[in-house]
Amino acid sequence: MKLPGNMQSMMKQAQEMQRRMQEEVAQIRVEASAGGGMVSIKMDGHKNVVGVKIDPEAAGDVEMLQDMVMAACNEAAKRADDEARNRMGGMLGGMGLPPGMF
């Protein structure tokens, strides 16, 4: 189906913006820790864990270690979301979208 020229141009712009947004998200790196730094998690913008650091002292109490890993992962995911939202807000700010869409 052939779209009118203006609509086709807008679709191309939207696709290009989506590609740039995905590139921006892929570049995001965040780090969060729990237990006073005993557990540290590094995560990318797609929320893949790319690094884990555990202080050997934390290994003694398995339940506490599990809680710290979970807390650090949750905080890293929140930070990744916040960073993505900040970057996308900057890219989309000039489009006139309603607040809160991104």
pLDDT for the residue numbered 65: 95
Residue 63, in any domain of the structure: yes
pLDDT for the residue numbered 13: 85
Q: How would residue 68 be classed by pLDDT, with cut points 50, 70 and 90?
A: very high
The domain of 77 spans 27-84
Residue 97, in any domain of the structure: no
pLDDT for the residue numbered 1: 58
pLDDT for the residue numbered 33: 97
Render pLDDT for 9-38 as a digit per residue (tens, 0 to 9).
888 888 888 888 888 888 999 999 999 999
Of 23, 16, 53, 22, whose CA–CA distance to 38 is shortest?
Answer: 53
Residue 64, in any domain of the structure: yes
pLDDT for the residue numbered 97: 54
CATH of residue 66's domain is 3.30.1310.10
Q: What's the token pair of residue 41?
A: 């998690």
> Is residue 95 pLDDT above 80, yes or no?
no
Residue 52, in any domain of the structure: yes
Rounded CA gap, 42 and 33, in Å? Answer: 9
Q: What's the token pair of residue 71?
A: 């807390």
> Is residue 102 pLDDT above 50, yes or no?
no
